């Protein structure tokens, strides 16, 4: 009984400590990751814009692909989702609880995105519009698949 109580108390203490560690930078971290997602959205739109034009500007495509790849690298490398930085922080965020309950899957999807945006950059260098189109589509599917599991809708 006492043992059980001790376990419970230590869990509370440990999680409390974790919260305390995440606390000081939490609001900045939400801002930081949001900026990164916005940059990804703008870069993705930049790619789609070129593919919509009758003649795509390959320089712009390379530039936007590089921007998307850099943002995906940061997303994979940074610990942008510390515990306590979900909606429970009181801030406006669409972070789903699955980010923390399935953190390994979340990390896997981030790495997959990183790899796919590298492939997109490689496709952009070939200036082969069909290859670029396919690579853009693959990245988009990657985004959507991850959002389905790890982002709250509305």
Answer for which of 43, 120, 123, 132 binds other proteins (CB under 8 A) is 43
Q: Does 140 bind other proteins (CB under 8 A)?
A: yes
Angle between the N-to-C axes of helices 129-150 and 26-52, in degrees from 0 to 180, rounded to the nearest 10:
150
What are φ and ψ of residue 83, in 5° steps? -55, 140
CA distance 94 to 86: 8
Answer for which of 4, 53, 92, 104 binds other proteins (CB under 8 A) is 53
* Least CB distance to other proteins at residue 90 (A): 21
Q: Does 108 bind other proteins (CB under 8 A)?
A: no
Answer for which of 3, 24, 54, 90 binds other proteins (CB under 8 A) is 54
**Token representation of residue 27:** 């609001």
DSSP state string for 61-109: HHHHHHHHHHHHHHHHHS----TT-SGGGSS---B-THHHHTHHHHHHH
* Least CB distance to other proteins at residue 89 (A): 20
Q: Does 71 bind other proteins (CB under 8 A)?
A: no
Segment near other proteins (CB under 8 A); pick from 6-14, 40-48, 72-80, 107-115: 40-48
Cβ count near 15 (within 10 Å): 12
The residues binding other proteins (CB under 8 A) are 37-38, 40-46, 48-49, 52-54, 140, 143-144, 147
């Amino acid at each position: 009984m006492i043992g059980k109580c001790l376990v419970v108390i230590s869990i509370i203490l440990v999680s409390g400590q974790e919260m305390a560690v995440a606390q000081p930078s939490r609001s900045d971290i939400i801002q930081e990751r949001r900026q990164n997602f916005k940059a990804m959205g703008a870069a993705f739109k930049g790619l789609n814009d070129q593919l919509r034009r009758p003649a795509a500007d390959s320089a712009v495509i390379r530039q936007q692909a590089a921007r998307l790849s850099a943002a995906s690298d940061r997303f994979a490398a940074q610990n942008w989702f510390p515990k306590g930085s979900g909606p429970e922080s009181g801030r406006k965020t669409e972070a789903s609880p699955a980010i923390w309950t399935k953190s390994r899957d979340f990390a896997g999807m981030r790495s997959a995105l990183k790899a796919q945006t590298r492939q997109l950059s490689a496709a952009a260098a070939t200036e082969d519009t069909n290859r670029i189109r396919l690579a853009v589509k693959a990245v988009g599917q990657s985004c959507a698949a991850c959002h389905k599991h790890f982002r709250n809708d509305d």
